[in-house]
Amino acid sequence: MEFSRRIVITDVVIDEKSVVDLIEICLEQRPTRRENKWEHRFSCEISYYGGSEVRFDESPRKFTDYFDKPVQGLSLTIQSQLKSGSRFISLALNHGEAGYKTTAISITGEDENWVNSTYTQLSDWLKHTPSQFTWISKKRFWLIQVLAPPFGYIIFTKFYWLTKSLEGATVSAAKVADASWTPGRITMLIATIWITGIVPAAILLDQLKSLWPSVELNLGPRHLLKHIYERKKWELISAMIVLPVLGGFVYDIVKLAFGL
């Protein structure tokens, strides 16, 4: 009878130390010389960005020697056939969103105690692995509600200014404030601004979320890791565009509210 346990890896940042510790735990499950083994197989595959990959059937001295360029995925299989039964460990790590098959550890064996003890060791490894930044994905709905009004306001006012300019009228915040606003018109305006801003707010958050995937592999020279470079770029964009837009929105709202 076979027993199986599975660990889905998600919301983690895996660096060289983490992956080496994980592989060492898997290698420790190999049969010892005292055990009467009939067959033992080891295979590992490391894939890089750009389509290149490396495979080997024996455990290398140092896995870190293969992290000389950005790693996109890593898979490892250890299979042993013993007198007491079979043992099988399958590991899959891929940079990106977590999945049941793409980022998981599978443990199968005829010895239930071995399966459970191995599962416990690997679960402990996962607990001590650095957690991923998931605030954007977990708070996405509320962030959209916060970002939609300023984005919608900017789009609406620019469109309003454009249409009035084409008509030859002069548009100013003061004129908008002095306009005759009934409760119905105010409600309609707020709804229009909010709906207009939902799409750009959602697009922005999705872009930011992709910079912090469920499983982040930081394997390879740090200056060559694309997602880290993209984060720095978005930090600059936020400082130069997003924050001024939010600041302008707050300023205009205060100005309209107090008739400045």
8 shares a domain with 123: yes
Asked whether residue 61 falls in the same domain as residue 103, the answer is yes
Asked if residue 182 and residue 108 are part of one domain, the reply reads no
- Together in a domain, 68 and 172: no
Does residue 218 form part of some domain?
no
Residues 28 and 66 in one domain: yes
Q: Which of 77, 93, 127 is the last residue of a domain?
A: 127
Q: Is the domain of 195 the same as that of 231?
A: yes
Q: Where in the sequence is the domain holding 248, given as residue range(s)?
A: 135-211+225-258
- Long-range contacts of the stretch 67-71 (C-beta < 8 A, 24+): 67/16, 67/219, 67/220, 68/220, 68/221, 69/220, 69/221, 69/224, 70/219, 70/220, 70/221, 70/224, 70/225, 70/226, 71/46, 71/47, 71/95, 71/217, 71/219, 71/220
- pTM for the model stands at 0.72
Residue by residue, pLDDT tens for the chain (260 residues) are 789 999 999 999 999 999 889 888 888 877 665 555 566 788 889 999 988 999 988 777 778 888 999 999 999 888 887 776 788 999 999 998 877 778 899 999 888 898 999 999 999 999 999 888 888 888 889 988 888 888 888 787 777 666 666 555 544 544 555 555 567 777 787 788 888 889 988 988 888 888 888 899 999 898 888 888 888 888 787 777 767 777 777 776 676 666 55
Largest CA distance in the chain: 92
149 part of a folded domain? yes
Q: Which of 73, 97, 127 is the last residue of a domain?
A: 127
Examine the domain organization and report whether 97 and 194 are in the same domain: no
